[in-house]
Amino acid sequence: MLPEPFLNRMKEMLDGEYEDFLASYEKEEIHSLRLNLLKTDQQEFAHKCNWKLDPVPWSGEGFYYEGEERPGRHPYHEAGVYYIQEASAMAVAPRLEAKPGEKILDLCAAPGGKSSQIASFMKGRGLLVCNEVHPARARVLSENIERMGIRNALVISHEPWELERSFKGYFDKILVDAPCSGEGMFRKNESAVLEWSAENVAMCAKRQAKILESAARMLKGGGRLVYSTCTFEREENEETIDSFLKRHPEFEQEKVLRLWPHKVKGEGHFLAALYKNEGEEDRALCRREEKGLPTREYRQWSEFCAQYLKCDFDGVYVKFGDQLYLAPQALPALKGLKVLRPGLHLGTIRKDRFEPSHALALALKPQEVKKHFHLTPEEAGRYLKGQTFSAEGEKGWYLITVDGYSLGWGKLSGTIMKNHYPKGLRK
């Protein structure tokens, strides 16, 4: 049952379209996924996979699929080949026009759908800061960044205002995919219906204004800010943007877009792209002192690279205890930040050897390693459960792949390929 005051607001807003809007709640559930361009492309995927996919009109890498396909259960999902994402949500990240080499902040990032889409446009170059205030949701975000094989992301967990001091005028682009009253989730999520109230809409609008203030302070002059919600309320959308523009004459509105569930095949979204005029100074306090971080090569890591890898890594080495990470060159100072992931996790430095991490496997392609071991989807299903395989070859680390997509590590000893898929992720 949809809340009566919500229906009255929609009737008033939509006028002659109201009946069509109401009828959209009777339609069948829509399923969609977005290919991860860091790992595949449309052509390659169509060649490898025979699912019936229909393109999402506003996203080159988005597709509708039939409910019975269950892509969430296929090993491709664990390989990060796609992200299951609501179709209208795919319209937002392209508006940032993210480019390799830029410094980009996704301020309300969990679980990471839009972050991973931004990352695919950045092609592993530049700095993507993914922030999520709630610690448990930040952990899910961090796992998704790993699964999608993203190399250049820093994952942190802060209230937006806590970041202002460090990052004043720092970012080229910022996405605020704001917490909202979630009216676009009503078809999928019963709790969004139960939580709805006019008071909650007003509370969300207030919170959105506050988050936007922080974003405005962290954006460079000449930078772009994209604001989005999955709700239909003017108070949380056009009115939030209008009052922001009144408070901030240095911003101009470039584009406002609404996707309505009765007009497109999707649950609905609002987005506004804003441009900040030149003139703001970059006064970020987060400059990293080169000497503060170890940049020397670690012997165990260098030996691992020489023995197993065929690719070079660009970035800054960061060590947390015995864990080695490779962060983007543009990494800010981490002091005072609650960091979940300071870049690509390479692995663990043991006394006499290097143990590669699961994140490294997911970020590598078979052509970037010296040894790989291919599995069919059926075999991959067993690998994900922890099964070992018999194999022949030189002993040592092998990148395990499914149809050419990396899935994890195996270590050959004798004729047994030991399974190094993380125990906590096993199916």
114 binds ligand SAM (CB under 6 A): yes
In the complex with ligand SAM, the residue whose CB is nearer, 21 or 83, is 83
- State in angstroms the smallest separation of the CB of 229 from ligand SAM: 7
179 binds ligand SAM (CB under 6 A): yes
Strands 339-342, 53-55: pairing kind: unpaired
133 binds ligand SAM (CB under 6 A): yes
Closest CA to 97 of 115, 121, 114, 113: 121
342 binds ligand SAM (CB under 6 A): no
In the complex with ligand SAM, the residue whose CB is nearer, 40 or 88, is 88
Strands 103-106, 171-177: pairing kind: parallel
In the complex with ligand SAM, the residue whose CB is nearer, 159 or 252, is 159
Instruction: Enumerate residues 6+ apart whose C-beta is below 8 A from 259.
Output: 58, 88, 91, 266, 268, 269, 270
User: Applying CB under 6 A, which part among 23-31, 128-136, 352-360, 377-385 lies near ligand SAM?
Assistant: 128-136
User: How many Cα atoms within 13 Å fall on the side-chain side of residue 57?
Assistant: 5
- State in angstroms the smallest separation of the CB of 341 from ligand SAM: 16
In the complex with ligand SAM, the residue whose CB is nearer, 61 or 132, is 132
- State in angstroms the smallest separation of the CB of 388 from ligand SAM: 35
8 Å CB contact between 71 and 77:
yes
User: Applying CB under 6 A, which part among 106-114, 255-263, 266-274, 371-379 lies near ligand SAM?
Assistant: 106-114
Tell me which of 230, 286, 305, 311 is the catalytic residue: 230
132 binds ligand SAM (CB under 6 A): yes
Q: Rounded CA gap, 337 and 131, in Å?
A: 11
User: Applying CB under 6 A, which part among 39-47, 60-68, 103-111, 324-332 lies near ligand SAM?
Assistant: 103-111
Instruction: Enumerate residues 6+ apart whose C-beta is below 8 A from 69.
Output: 31, 51, 52
- State in angstroms the smallest separation of the CB of 116 from ligand SAM: 8
Question: What b/e readout covers 2-34, taking b as 16+ CB neighbours within 10 angstroms?
Answer: ebeebeebbeeebeeeeeebeeeeeeeebbbbb
Of 111, 124, 184, 410, the one binding ligand SAM by CB under 6 A: 111
Known catalytic residue at 49:
no
The phi-psi region of residue 117 (left if phi > 0; otherwise alpha if psi is between -120 and 50; otherwise beta) is alpha
CA distances from 165 to 130, 161, 209, 243 (A): 17, 8, 18, 24
108 binds ligand SAM (CB under 6 A): yes
Q: Rounded CA gap, 85 and 94, in Å?
A: 14
- What does DSSP assign to residue 66? -
Of 47, 70, 73, 134, the one binding ligand SAM by CB under 6 A: 134
- What does DSSP assign to residue 73? G
In the complex with ligand SAM, the residue whose CB is nearer, 182 or 408, is 182
Binding site for ligand SAM (CB under 6 A): 89, 108-114, 132-134, 137, 159-160, 177, 179, 207, 211
Active site amino acids: 230
